[in-house]
């Protein structure tokens, strides 16, 4: 560790000094509450136990489970050991879970009981995985979580730097294969410091940890709250009634959300007349009607952002009311340009691709050097998103490059190419185009327009179920339209723009 290095584990040590006796974490599922000092003690014991079990710097730890104290402790131990946590989306199908694990080859796996059946069926294919542990309070058939805590915690940390990797999060599949985004300690620290600074978070705040820790938004919000010295109130799955009660009881002041989280909390508040006036800050994406309801009820601020997994979450932020419809302004350490196809800056008010430099930009795509080099061409990270700046420096999101077209149902990322590839595996389908359509509840939904092979018949629900059996359920089409012939380009491939123009409003 160099003189200027600082890591996530340093945050844990620092807060054990600054906030030793203050509450740091409350797990709603079982009522456990830990102080910052107790968090450090448990991280040290877990780190010691994992090291004694054979885990070394640079090794991967797979985590498959819902938000819990143990999940947070594993992330803390990874930071202390210089290991890399592979955070696996528990909504993925068995095939997708297998792909993520094989891609990163974790030596140890921590798995919630409800997902152990999937892993049990796959274990024979993971020659690289040596140990399997229950993730939560020793529930399950794997080795007890307590077994790696059973030591005095005499931890001697290895040399870990700010630039060392700590997290791998798989993005949605642009071309049918997900990419593992490797984030460093510095990436996470930059983002959570940006959040804390922008939202003016203090130890008196209370953060409701709603978003899953496998999601870069959930991960950075949890660490932001921890670093600021405030309480993380953790839920393992979102429930509107429970969340509304927690806001009232725990005086929650801040959370991050995607549709329909905020709307469902406001609906629940109307039913129960719960007092949610403590809620001063909500950050995320939502429709103007929901934002207006929240602000009218609480007089709180709604913050908008733009970011990616590759930028460890946001690179712009702003108060919604300052410039409704924009994505805010660049954060203090975000160097953003808007460029044309030749990486030449375009004038303000002109749209172009967002490229960015700064300490939040990820290290690499795991085991994909060519993809990394392409994203980093010219010394800038190319996001694949289009936007424009106005005269006051507010960024206005325009859309995705065709090669990176993206659908976001409920905050999750779905690339059409991955869904199209799966649909075309059905023996009755000849051609298909998948795209996003507006959805009142989820923000966007997946639409598929399909041309069947001659003489074949297929029911829409049958095709939806076919996709759901192979991909995460949030990736399945909500609607399917069958057509006699899809419009084609000169090269014989479907004309995506024409298909969307013809069927997006149906």
pTM of the model: 0.84
Contact 393, 330 (CB under 8 A): yes
DSSP 8-state code for residue 141: S
500 burial (CB, 10 Å; 0-12 / 13-18 / 19+) is middle
* Tokens 């040596």 belong to residue: 130
Q: Mean pLDDT throughout 178-189?
A: 97
What is the sign, positive or negative, of the torsion defined by CA atoms of 298, 304, 307, 311?
A: negative
Q: Crossing angle, helix 460-468 and helix 416-423, to 10 degrees?
A: 110
Please tell me the predicted confidence (pLDDT) of residue 152: 87
Choose the weakest-confidence range: 17-31, 81-95, 481-495: 481-495
d(CA 499, CA 487): 7
Give 105-119 pLDDT, tens digit per residue: 999 999 999 999 999
Res 404 pLDDT > 70: no
d(CA 174, CA 405): 8
412 Cβ partners below 8 Å, 6+ apart? 91, 172, 472, 474, 475
Res 502 pLDDT > 90: no
What is the sign, positive or negative, of the torsion defined by CA atoms of 104, 235, 226, 151?
A: negative
Which token pair is 380? 């800038």
Which token pair is 203? 């130890």
Contact 226, 37 (CB under 8 A): no
Q: Mean pLDDT throughout 364-375?
A: 94
292 Cβ partners below 8 Å, 6+ apart? none
Please tell me the predicted confidence (pLDDT) of residue 489: 81
Report for 205-209, 256-260, 405-409: range of highest mean pLDDT: 205-209
Please tell me the predicted confidence (pLDDT) of residue 159: 94
Give 126-154 pLDDT, tens digit per residue: 999 999 999 987 789 999 999 999 998 88
Contact 196, 224 (CB under 8 A): yes
Of the candidates 151, 140, 137, 126, the one whose C-alpha atom is nearest the C-alpha of residue 53 is: 151
Q: Mean pLDDT throughout 78-106?
A: 96
Going along the chain from its start, the domains and CATH numbers come out as: 8-24+33-185 (3.40.50.12780), 302-403 (2.30.38.10), 407-503 (3.30.300.30)
Percent of the chain with pLDDT over 90: 80
Contact 287, 438 (CB under 8 A): no
Give 67-82 pLDDT, tens digit per residue: 999 999 999 999 999 9
Please tell me the predicted confidence (pLDDT) of residue 492: 77
Res 439 pLDDT > 70: yes
Q: Crossing angle, helix 8-18 and helix 216-228, to 10 degrees?
A: 30
Res 32 pLDDT > 90: yes
Helices (H) and strands (E) in the chain, counts: 14, 23
Q: Name the pLDDT band for 396 (thresholds 50, 70, 90).
A: very high
- In the predicted model, what is the mean pLDDT of the chain? 93
Please tell me the predicted confidence (pLDDT) of residue 112: 96
d(CA 13, CA 15): 6
d(CA 399, CA 314): 16
Please tell me the predicted confidence (pLDDT) of residue 503: 87
d(CA 58, CA 163): 12
Please tell me the predicted confidence (pLDDT) of residue 412: 80
Contact 96, 115 (CB under 8 A): no
Please tell me the predicted confidence (pLDDT) of residue 440: 79
d(CA 372, CA 323): 34
């Amino acid at each position: 560790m160099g003189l200027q290095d600082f890591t996530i584990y340093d945050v844990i040590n620092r807060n054990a000094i600054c906030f030793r006796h203050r509450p740091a974490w409350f797990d709603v599922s079982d009522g456990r509450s830990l102080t910052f000092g107790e968090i450090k003690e448990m991280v040290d014991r877990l780190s010691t136990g994992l090291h004694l079990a054979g885990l070394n710097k640079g090794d991967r730890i797979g985590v498959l489970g819902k938000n819990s104290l143990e999940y947070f402790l594993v992330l803390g131990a990874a930071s202390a050991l210089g290991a890399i946590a592979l955070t696996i989306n528990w909504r993925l199908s068995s095939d997708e879970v297998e792909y993520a694990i094989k891609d990163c080859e974790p030596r140890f796996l921590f798995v919630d009981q409800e997902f152990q059946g999937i892993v049990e069926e796959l274990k024979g294919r993971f020659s690289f995985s040596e140990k399997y542990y229950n993730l939560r309070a020793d529930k399950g058939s794997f080795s007890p979580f307590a077994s790696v805590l059973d030591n005095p915690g005499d931890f001697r940390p290895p040399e870990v730097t700010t630039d060392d990797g700590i997290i791998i999060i798989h993005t949605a599949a642009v071309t049918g294969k997900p990419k593992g985004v490797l984030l460093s300690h510095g990436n996470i620290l930059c983002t959570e410091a940006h959040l804390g600074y922008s939202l003016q978070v203090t130890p008196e705040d209370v953060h409701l940890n709603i978003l899953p820790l496998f999601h870069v938004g959930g991960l950075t919000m949890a660490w932001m709250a921890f670093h600021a010295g405030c309480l993380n109130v953790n839920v393992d799955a979102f429930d509107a009634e429970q969340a509304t009660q927690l806001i009232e009881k725990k005086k929650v002041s801040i959370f991050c959300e995607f549709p329909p989280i905020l709307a469902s909390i406001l609906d629940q508040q109307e039913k129960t007349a719960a007092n949610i006036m403590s809620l001063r800050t909500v950050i995320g994406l939502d429709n103007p009607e929901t934002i207006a309801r929240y602000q009218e009820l609480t007089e709180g601020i709604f913050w908008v952002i733009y970011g990616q997994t590759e930028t460890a979450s946001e690179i712009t932020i702003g108060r919604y009311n300052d410039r409704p419809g924009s994505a805010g302004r660049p954060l203090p350490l975000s160097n953003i340009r808007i460029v044309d196809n030749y990486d030449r800056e375009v004038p303000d008010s002109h749209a172009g691709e967002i490229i960015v430099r700064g300490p939040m930009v990820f290290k690499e795509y795991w085991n994909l050097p060519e993809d990394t080099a392409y994203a980093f061409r010219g010394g800038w990270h190319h996001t694949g998103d289009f936007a424009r700046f106005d005269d006051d420096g507010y960024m206005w999101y325009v859309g995705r490059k065709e090669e990176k077209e993206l659908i976001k149902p409920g905050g999750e990322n779905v690339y059409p190419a991955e869904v199209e590839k799966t649909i075309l595996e059905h023996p009755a389908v000849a051609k298909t185009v998948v795209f996003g359509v507006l959805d009142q509840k989820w923000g966007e939904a997946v639409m598929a327009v399909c041309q069947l092979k001659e003489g074949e018949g297929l029911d829409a629900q049958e095709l939806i179920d076919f996709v759901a059996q192979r991909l995460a359920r949030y990736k399945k089409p909500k609607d399917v339209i069958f057509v006699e012939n899809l419009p084609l380009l000169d090269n014989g491939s479907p004309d995506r723009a024409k298909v969307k123009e013809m069927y997006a409003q149906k």
